[in-house]
Structure 1
Amino acid sequence: MYGSVGLLSAAALAGCGAQAGPVDTARVANQTNGKPSAVALQLQKTVNALRFQEVLDTAPPSSAQAKTLMNPVDKEARNGLEQRRSLLAAADDAKPISQQPQLDATVIELDKNGRPVSSGTVLMSPTYKKPVVVPVDKNMSTTAVRWRQWDDAGWYANKGQGTVDIVPGREGASLDFMSPYPASVLKLMVNFGVLQLVDQGKVKLDATYDYKPTETSSLCGGATSKTVSQYIDESLTWSSNAASCALVKMLHDNGAVDGLNKTFQSLGLQTLQLKNTNPANGGRWGNPVTMSSLDTAKLLTLVNGAPGTVWTGPDGKPVTSAVLSATARKFFQDKLRSQGWNDMLSTPNWCGKYPAPGIPHAVPSRWVGPDGTVTVNGSKFGRDVRPCNGKAEVSFAHKTGWVNNSAADAGIVKALPGKGGRSYIVVVFSNLGTQYVDADRPATPEGIYPFAFTEKFAKLGKIVDTYEKSRAARG
């Protein structure tokens, strides 16, 4: 049915005292004996050292351009090459960002069997200018955060404070955080739901699905007819919005959206909510669609697979990787490893001095031409990536996402044979989307796809990977 970035020295990285060897499941948390874990402290120090507040804003709040970019419904419809070029054309007049950026980052460290051994989550915002560590329990869950929906205009007007709660009953939480919109990382939730339908025998991967929207949408496009497998491939490997709309509509057609949201709740992934999408066309991706880095990292832990009870759900029942069959998990991972957009925590599509190198994985061969340059869905990157591919140390099964005020990357990192042995999950969500650039960003040649994130994300990915490599070496 299933077909070294220099900001933190090597000595500093090695001196953080990561936990070595296997850790009992009951002690898996980002706090041990009331103190933050080593990986949590390392992540906090790294985010703070990278000084994300030094980026430039190509559409500052006082500009007319900023108003045209705020679109709370079908947020990704404007997310294309022309929008990127328009923003970059304004880079010469870019201004310093008006306040501390929003960032939500998690690392879950895994043992050789895929079981979590430690985790760390940090939050940064105008309220928390120095990143704060989120306390979690033995199930890698937290009640210490009042999670709020993203509000495009409210990030400026309310100084990064949201007004709509994601998880009810958190009014007394010690931390209050407006979660960045997850952008195309929401496609992880969508494809997870579709693969559950496959496991249930309600959908077959090799069957043709006739996508017939009854309402038009600039996000989703018109009718199409493809196999379910092809829709999934296009959704995950080059982030097709049209294919993803088809999959969302497929979930609605099967009455599965409410069930999917209930599944996330039962798994203890309370911030994962695929809400308010349009059953007529699978579109209307807006701020009610929410994900936190911690819950997304936990979802990927299940997709990666681990034996036995991985954690305990809110109802006291064991949560296991059997939420997807082994065949479904392998299919999911294979598609994520085939990612074409490697442009946030990793940057091998550019393979050069700028953007800085991130997580050291190879660009999948399906995107690499005879001259070594990368082309993804018609977008040309223009650099020979073969030297970087030859130096790859890990695989990175991941999904990226971006709009003007959202940047997201979530994936599973595994060392290649003989390359250090690390295995971990990393997820970062931020409001520093394509609207924000580095002050020293070089010009992009005509006809080449522009890099329009800050390279600080790639530096973050590289530091995390170097730390995890050193942890594995000590393990």
Structure 2
Amino acid sequence: MNAQELADGLRRAIQDLNFGAIGDPLAGGSPLRHFPSLDLAVVGFVPGQAPVAANVLFSRDQPEGLIATLPATFGPVQGVEFLADVQDAQGVSVAWLPASDWSTLPRHRLWGQGAAMRAPYPASLLKLMVAVGVAWACQQQRGDWDEAWSYQGQARALRDWQFDMLAVSCNHATSALVAWLHHAGMIRRSAGREVHNEVQALLDRLGLPTLRLHNTQPDGGWGNAAGAGVGQIHMTAWDTARLLWWLDPDAPPAPWLDAEAPRLHAEGRDAVLAGLREQGLDTILSSGTLAAVPGQPAGLPSELNRRWCQPDGNWVAGEHQWPAPSGPQSPTPSVRFAHKIGNTENYASDAGIVRSIQPLGRHYIVAFLSNLGTRYAHHPLACGPKQLAKLGAEVDRLMQRLHESRPGEARP
């Protein structure tokens, strides 16, 4: 399977899942008036072979799907103009309202030239950027992983704040670390505006032009109410996948970076990966956490982290709780998924590193962003429409085919 075949397979998988038929409760349950915005990127690694990657995007303007052009160096996407998501004066994400008219919305260019794509807000996937910023700050000796940082009366080691931010998507821990980044001088504000941002500078040096962490506050504010959030913080699937490539110790060197590009030392990289590997929220592309939810389809077949399973069988990850599933995990897990999700009323995202449980098996990175949050959930305990998990399963099937299509490799 080559890159074009992978891209065609991803686009066909989304087309076949009939995302346009999803009901919108804000429109009385009628099918979506506009095709949703979906941004999916995948990079597959097979030892001894060049990486194979694809990025497909869908929106109301591209309902059949756009296959993005990826350069030979795997640098930034070509042929796409990403537009910033927007909120109104009341903090409402107006781009995703049933009657929204995009021709009347502000057209703030995020990056690129070509087909216009309005990039959905990443929701809590943004915590991956915060985590990388903390790791980089510690590497620059702005702090130490074991130092106690006090936030709103609670003192914890930086690594513990970070673990909770990633593994259980703790908003309080995120605010604590955003406040610490300001305290450490990584981000500075003056006269009500951001004047210095070393986290953003790192992302820029890594050649990830659509990853933006702007307008956070010294008190830890990072959401809409703080003046950040939608319209200030941005991610796209391809650049998120490349950030994970940079983090993945088992991936080949990032070919778009030169020898002078920043590198995380093992301690910082491992601190980030620890929270991803111990993920307690398999609820978007993978769905094991939701196994007890009626009608929930199986997603990417990842192994659950049983540390979040309580003695009574219920699933408790931070403030998130789900009932105990009945019976063994199905399908039988075949991969481990070190990942971070984002999920709000209007948004669902998921990105991470997938490794086969069996040696020499498939190894790939997947990143997905969309405007299909809990507003479209098929059940009150679900996190979005059924199509999200089904897409995760389809991605994994494609990546297994990619692995099996390469000669001389095992096929677990």
TM-score, normalization by structure 2 = 0.86
Corresponding position of 1:39:
6
Do the aligned residues in 1 keep the contact of 2:59 with 2:117 (CA within 8 Å)? yes
Secondary structure at the residue paired with 2:212?
coil
Q: C-alpha offsets along residues 217-272 of structure 1, whole Å, 9 cap, x if unaligned?
A: xxxxx443211111101100111111101111111122214111111112110000
Corresponding position of 2:67:
133
Give structure 2 stretches of 5+ with no counterpart. 87-92, 188-196, 407-412
Q: Does 1:370 align with 2:311?
A: yes
Distance 1:308 1:342, change over 3 A: closer
Residue number among 35, 42, 49 corresponding to 1:107 in the alignment: 42
Q: Does 1:248 align with 2:178?
A: yes
- TM-superposed CA distance for 1:473, in Å, is 2.3
Q: Output the CA distance in 1 between the equivalents of 2:253 and 2:332.
A: 36
Corresponding position of 2:110:
166
Distance 1:223 1:144, change over 3 A: farther
Secondary structure at the residue paired with 1:429?
strand
- TM-superposed CA distance for 1:378, in Å, is 4.5
Letter in 1 for 2:248: N
Letter in 2 for 1:204: D
Corresponding position of 1:77:
none
Residue number among 206, 215, 220 corresponding to 1:281 in the alignment: 220
Do the aligned residues in 2 keep the contact of 1:199 with 1:328 (CA within 8 Å)? yes
Do the aligned residues in 2 keep the contact of 1:367 with 1:376 (CA within 8 Å)? yes
- TM-superposed CA distance for 1:409, in Å, is 0.4
Give structure 1 stretches of 5+ with no counterpart. 1-17, 20-29, 31-36, 61-92, 212-221, 445-449
Residue number among 77, 85, 92 corresponding to 1:150 in the alignment: 85
Do the aligned residues in 1 keep the contact of 2:309 with 2:315 (CA within 8 Å)? yes
> 1:319-468 alignment to 2 at 5 Å?
323-351=263-291, 354-384=295-325, 387-388=328-329, 391-417=332-358, 421-438=361-378, 441=379, 450-468=381-399
Do the aligned residues in 2 keep the contact of 1:108 with 1:116 (CA within 8 Å)? no
Q: Output the CA distance in 2 between the equivalents of 1:139 and 1:162.
A: 33
Distance 1:307 1:129, change over 3 A: closer
Distance 1:344 1:308, change over 3 A: closer
Residue number among 120, 126, 132 corresponding to 1:186 in the alignment: 126
Secondary structure at the residue paired with 1:226?
strand
Letter in 1 for 2:404: A
Letter in 1 for 2:335: V
Do the aligned residues in 1 keep the contact of 2:246 with 2:253 (CA within 8 Å)? no
Do the aligned residues in 1 keep the contact of 2:284 with 2:383 (CA within 8 Å)? no
Q: Output the CA distance in 1 between the equivalents of 2:104 and 2:277.
A: 34
Q: C-alpha offsets along residues 284-325 of structure 1, whole Å, 9 cap, x if unaligned?
A: 341210001000000001111257741234xxx3476x6211
Secondary structure at the residue paired with 1:453?
coil
Letter in 1 for 2:205: S
Letter in 2 for 1:452: C
Do the aligned residues in 1 keep the contact of 2:343 with 2:373 (CA within 8 Å)? yes
Distance 1:384 1:154, change over 3 A: closer
Which has a greater percent of strand? 2
Letter in 2 for 1:104: D
Q: Output the CA distance in 2 between the equivalents of 1:389 and 1:234.
A: 27
Distance 1:360 1:264, change over 3 A: same
Secondary structure at the residue paired with 2:56?
strand
Q: Output the CA distance in 1 between the equivalents of 2:22 and 2:331.
A: 32
- TM-superposed CA distance for 1:116, in Å, is 6.2
Q: Output the CA distance in 2 between the equivalents of 1:319 and 1:188.
A: 23
Corresponding position of 1:235:
165
Secondary structure at the residue paired with 1:166?
strand
Q: Does 1:266 align with 2:205?
A: yes
- TM-superposed CA distance for 1:277, in Å, is 1.1
Q: Output the CA distance in 1 between the equivalents of 2:260 and 2:372.
A: 33
- TM-superposed CA distance for 1:200, in Å, is 2.1
Q: Output the CA distance in 2 between the equivalents of 1:192 and 1:112.
A: 27
Counting matched residue pairs gives 381
Letter in 2 for 1:225: A
Distance 1:246 1:372, change over 3 A: same
Q: C-alpha offsets along residues 31-52 of structure 1, whole Å, 9 cap, x if unaligned?
A: xxxxxx2211111111111111
Distance 1:228 1:148, change over 3 A: same
Q: Does 1:59 align with 2:26?
A: yes
Letter in 2 for 1:310: A
Q: Output the CA distance in 1 between the equivalents of 2:405 and 2:118.
A: 37
Percent identity of paired positions between Structure 1 and Structure 2: 27
Q: C-alpha offsets along residues 342-361 of structure 1, whole Å, 9 cap, x if unaligned?
A: 11000001225621100111
Q: C-alpha offsets along residues 187-220 of structure 1, whole Å, 9 cap, x if unaligned?
A: 0000001011122222111110122xxxxxxxxx
Q: Does 1:471 align with 2:402?
A: yes
- TM-superposed CA distance for 1:134, in Å, is 0.3
Letter in 1 for 2:178: V
Do the aligned residues in 1 keep the contact of 2:301 with 2:331 (CA within 8 Å)? no
Do the aligned residues in 1 keep the contact of 2:41 with 2:367 (CA within 8 Å)? yes
